[in-house]
Structure 1
């Protein structure tokens, strides 16, 4: 029987075990550009093995409720940050690891403009912009060697909207 989970709002505290939520919360760390720009400094735990950081653009098709998840993946050689450039919200599905198997799935729904950085080796669903096509800048590892591990789900996982979704 397929497992069902309910999505919850994306918060830094709720997501910390899987990665970082990057947004301009509170006062900036410092003012720059003659006081005209607030800098929220070093907000992500970026982690790349050998290789280098690369910036790519992704164009993802819209997803809707309930979300069917039939594949999760992880990146053993580096973290991966998703930065919406089109303002799309996203459904972020993550799981803990138990001996190479994803377990204890959770789902989060971002607000427009929230950035997600997934920690190295974090199981996650594929990019899923909510309700509209989404364009994302993606910061991740570029280099030699495999940095993608996929795990098909059969039966699939289903994600239902939660409060605020």
Structure 2
């Protein structure tokens, strides 16, 4: 069993795996007669292969128990996959570099602050959507089109998250 401690999600720490989606650190400009601010071109959407096209979906995820236990990681070799929380849902991210196999020493875990989303690069190994405090609703941008675009790699992983805030209470996990 691979034991991981989730670290705070930052753009710098997550850069090898994809993009952090967060308007707080993005360039922006005023639109709609000054009534809106546009945070422009936050990620590169990758759609590879025959008849590829971007998809926009909504995922509703049930909360997971902590410590998070995973039995596999998955990857989408033909396109990136972005998860953007709609209601400041915090979630755990588990990633491993692209490749045909996964070296346990290269697996990392992160925890969002609720306002951050992520864009996994095409072919990046990652865990399933794992919200922690409540049901989560996410805008998901990924690839549609021909071709097999989901592989699974069996792996037993346990992720520890410390000082998770649930309402007004702090929840510490082992």
Give the TM-score normalised by the residue count of structure 1. Answer: 0.90
Alpha-carbon distance in 2 for matches of 1:159, 1:30: 39
Gapped regions of structure 2 (runs ≥ 5): 166-174
Alpha-carbon distance in 1 for matches of 2:28, 2:77: 31
Tell me the matched-pair count.
161
SS in structure 2 at match of 1:25: helix
Is residue 55–residue 140 contact of structure 1 (8 Å, CA) maintained in 2? yes
1:144 pairs with 2:146 = yes
Give the TM-score normalised by the residue count of structure 2. Answer: 0.86
Gapped regions of structure 1 (runs ≥ 5): none
Cα distance change, pair 82–27 in 1 and its aligned pair in 2 (3 A): closer
Cα distance change, pair 164–16 in 1 and its aligned pair in 2 (3 A): farther
User: Deviations along 1:41-69, whole A, 9 cap, x unmatched?
Assistant: 10102111131001112111101321101
Task: Provide the aligned C-alpha RMSD in A.
Answer: 1.7
Cα distance change, pair 152–112 in 1 and its aligned pair in 2 (3 A): same
User: Deviations along 1:88-118, whole A, 9 cap, x unmatched?
Assistant: 11101001234x1122110111111211100
Of the two structures, which has the highest relative contact order with CA contacts closer than 8 Å and spacing of 6 or more?
1
